[in-house]
Every structure is written in C-alpha cells, then in structure tokens.
C-alpha cells in the first residue's frame, strides 16, 4: 500500500512539476525573445511549440535513457490516442467543431503520413539514430516551409499574442531565473513521472507499456484537454482540432525523433499488435472528417469518448 501511495504521489507531483517547468521555460524564452526582438513567427515555431511539448519530450528521453523504452513509446502512442479520442471527444460534447477549416485536409493528411512512417519505423524496430534524424528532418522541413508560408503547421501558436501576454518578465536576471527553474523542473518532473509510473506498474503487476499508454499519456495530454475545454466553453472549439493535429505531429516527429537520436528505442510487440492501430484508426477518423468538410458534433464526441474509455478498459 505504501509504495503504491508513494508512486501515485510521485506521478502527481511529477506532472505538476512538468506543467510548471514547461510554463516557466516558455515564459522565460518568450521574454527573452521579446527582449532580443526575435521575430514572432520564429518564436512560435521554436520556443512555444517546443516549450509546450517539453514535458512529453523530457518523459520520453528520460524513460528511454533509464531503460524503460515502453514508457517512452507508450507515452507517444497513448498521447496521440488520447489527443483525438479524449481531447477532441470531451469538447465535442459541449460544442461542435467545423472540419472545413483551411488547410485542415492537408494537415490531417500529413498526420496520417507521419503516423504511417512511424508504424514503418516501429516495424523495423529498434528506432535508431537514423530513424530519429529522419523524423526530426521532416519536422524541420515543415517548420521552414511554414515559416516561408509554403505550408501551414498546426499548433504553432500565434506568438505575437503570446508576446503581448501579461507577466512576461523584463529584467534579464528574472528571465534567466525562469529559464533555469524551467530547465530544473522539467527533468525533475519527468524523473518523478517515470519512476512513479514504473513503480505503479510493478505494484499493480501490469506492463510498463500500459502505464505509458494510459496514465503517463493522459497526464501529458491534460494541458491540451484543459485548453480545448476552455475553448469549448467559449464556443470556440475549432482551435481544438489544430491543437490535436499539431500535438500528434510533434509527438512523433520531435519527441520520438529527438529521443531516438539520443538512444535506440526498442518497440514492444504489444504496441504493434493493438495500440499503434488504434492510434492510426483515431487519426483516420479525423482525416475522413476533414475530407467530408462537415462538422463533428456531440454524437462523434460521445463516440470518441466511449472509444477512449473502451480502449483504457481493454488496456487494463
């Protein structure tokens, strides 16, 4: 009972540190960008995009480096599943989302292509440095294309709005303090999450991959869920779909790519048998919705949420 409690506490504390670390890092980096007058579009594609993905990145790197690759891969696959089925499903119950947004068909197609590339890499596992470099290269290409206006990469938030935000420090020492604290809190939180997750898996007698796919993935998807929920309450759910696609692309291209560059990632057969196909199927539903150019409503929300609950039930 005691180790279980301690591991749950670690998991909870880890997520809070990750959220705080990501927030501090983004705010510090934004303040730095504002002070050094780096163009907003560059800030958006680097600082904001990478900063908001820092918790997932840190968890995957730390898990892979500490000999728990199932947690790293499970985090990415589970996050992508949770993003579509949960992060989109819940706000859909509140307010419908239009799927005729400009560039959405292209973005969902890109997500499907990247997901298939990821499946191919998993099939020829382990994902080595070459796989990692190719994933990051794809990301860099699309970031450059987006910066030049050739392509639209979702979830690269409007940095100009971020730069106007209240509370950005102006003093260099405060900026440095935020960045340093962010850099300390992120690996600290990731370490607590990984050890808590692995400990819980051992206590409950389940595989580490299950913890990665469920608890860790859910924890890292909570910020996106809260953002989309707030947007849904303001009857502005349309941004949710862009956030989900952007997060899914970053999860595979950046998080898995950078982790694979640092260390080889073996992919468990369990993922190939079931979870990876759930991820692809969930992504395909978005792609079909984008092709049909209609709108996703409460029925789809209930379907997404029900599917997610069923998936979690099957996992455990």
Partner 1 sequence: MDIRTKLSLLLVAVSLISMGLLGAFAYRTSAGMLQEISIRQLDALAEGKKRDLLKVQQNWRRTIHLLTRHVVSQGRFNGIISSEKTAASQTLMNLISLYAEVNGIASVKIFDATGAEWVTVGQPSLAKQHLMPSTDIEYRGTIVTDAQAVQVVMAARIIDQGKLVGGLELTYDARDLISIAENLTGLGTTGEVLMFSGGLEGSAVTLLSRRRHIGAVQQGQKLEFAEMSADIQAALKNDVEPSSQVMDDRGQLVWMASRYIPELEWGLVVKVDASEEEVRSELLLTALVDIGLSVSAFAILGGALLGLYFARPVQQLVDVVQRFNAGENDVRATIQGDDEITYLAATLNDYLDTVSSPSKRTDDA
Where on the chain is the footprint of partner 1 (CB under 8 A)?
6, 9-10, 12-17, 20, 23-24, 27, 166-167, 169, 174, 178, 181, 188, 192, 195
String of DSSP letters for 159-220: HHHHHH-TT---SHHHHHHHHHHHHHHHHHHHHHHHHHHHHHHHHHT--HHHHIIIIIHHHH
Residue 49 or 168 having the CB closest to partner 1: 168
DSSP string, 76-125: HHHHHHHIIIIITHHHHHHS-EES--TTHHHHHHHHHHHHHHHHHHHHT-
Nearer to partner 1, 14 or 89 (CB): 14
Find the shortest distance in angstroms from Cβ 250 to partner 1.
Answer: 25
Judged by beta carbon, residue 14 or residue 257, the one nearer partner 1 is 14
**122 phi/psi in degrees, rounded to 5:** -65, -35
Nearest to 52 by CA among 177, 221, 211: 221
What is the number of other CB atoms lying within 10 angstroms of the CB of residue 130?
11
Q: What's the closest the beta carbon of residue 19 comes to partner 1, in angstroms?
A: 8
Choice between 8 and 46, CB closer to partner 1 = 8
In terms of Cα–Cα distance, which of 282, 218, 238 is closest to 91? 238
Comparison of 55 and 246: residue with beta carbon closer to partner 1: 55
Least separation in angstroms between CB 167 and partner 1: 3
- Closest residue by Cα to residue 104 from 312, 305, 292: 292
Which CB, 61 or 192, lies closer to partner 1?
192
CB of 98 to partner 1, least distance (A): 30
Region label for 293, one of left (φ > 0), alpha (ψ between -120 and 50) or beta (otherwise): left
User: Considering beta carbons, is residue 23 or 238 the nearer one to partner 1?
Assistant: 23
User: Distance between CA atoms of 282 and 275, rounded to whole angstroms?
Assistant: 11
Q: In the bound complex, what is the minimum distance in angstroms from residue 8's beta carbon to partner 1? A: 9
Considering the complex, what minimum distance in angstroms separates the CB of residue 45 from partner 1? 24
Residues recorded for the chain = 316
Torsion over CA: 196, 202, 206, 210 (sign): positive
Q: What value, to the nearest 5°, has the Cα angle with vertex 223 and ends 298 and 132?
A: 105
Min dist. Cβ of residue 176 to partner 1 (A): 12
The residue (of 200 and 289) whose beta carbon lies closer to partner 1 is: 200
CB 220 within 8 A of CB 18: yes
Query: Least distance in Å: CB of 211 to partner 1?
Result: 17
Residue whose CB is less far from partner 1, 152 or 181: 181
| Shortest Å distance, C-beta 92 to partner 1 | 27
Closest residue by Cα to residue 103 from 231, 242, 252: 242
């Amino acid at each position: 009972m005691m180790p279980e409690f301690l591991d749950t506490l670690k998991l909870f504390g880890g997520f809070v540190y990750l959220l705080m670390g990501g927030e501090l890092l983004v705010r510090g980096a934004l303040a730095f960008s504002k002070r050094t007058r780096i163009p907003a579009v560059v800030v958006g594609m680097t600082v904001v995009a990478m900063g908001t993905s820092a918790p997932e990145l840190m968890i995957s790197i730390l898990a892979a480096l500490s000999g728990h690759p199932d947690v790293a891969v499970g985090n990415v696959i589970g996050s992508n599943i949770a993003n579509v089925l949960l992060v989109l499903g819940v706000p859909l119950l509140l307010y419908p989302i239009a799927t005729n947004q400009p560039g959405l068909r292209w973005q969902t197609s890109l997500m499907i292509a990247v997901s298939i590339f990821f499946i191919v890499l998993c099939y020829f596992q382990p994902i080595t440095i070459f796989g990692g470099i190719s994933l990051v290269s794809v990301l860099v290409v699309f970031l450059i294309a987006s910066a030049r206006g050739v392509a639209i990469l979702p979830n690269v938030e409007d940095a100009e709005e971020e730069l106007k935000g209240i509370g950005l420090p102006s003093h260099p020492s405060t900026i440095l303090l935020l960045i340093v604290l962010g850099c300390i809190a992120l690996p600290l939180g990731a370490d607590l999450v990984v050890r808590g997750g692995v400990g819980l898996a051992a206590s409950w007698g389940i595989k580490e991959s299950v913890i990665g796919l469920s608890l860790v993935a859910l924890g890292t998807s909570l910020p996106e869920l809260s953002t989309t929920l707030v947007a849904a309450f303001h009857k502005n759910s349309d941004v949710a779909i862009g956030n989900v696609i952007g997060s899914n692309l970053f999860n595979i291209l950046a998080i898995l790519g950078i982790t694979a560059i640092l260390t080889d990632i073996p992919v468990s057969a369990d993922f190939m048998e079931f979870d990876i196909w759930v991820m692809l199927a969930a992504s395909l539903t978005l792609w079909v919705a984008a092709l049909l150019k209609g709108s996703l409503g409460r029925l789809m929300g209930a379907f997404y949420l029900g599917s997610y609950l069923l998936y979690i039930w099957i996992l455990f």
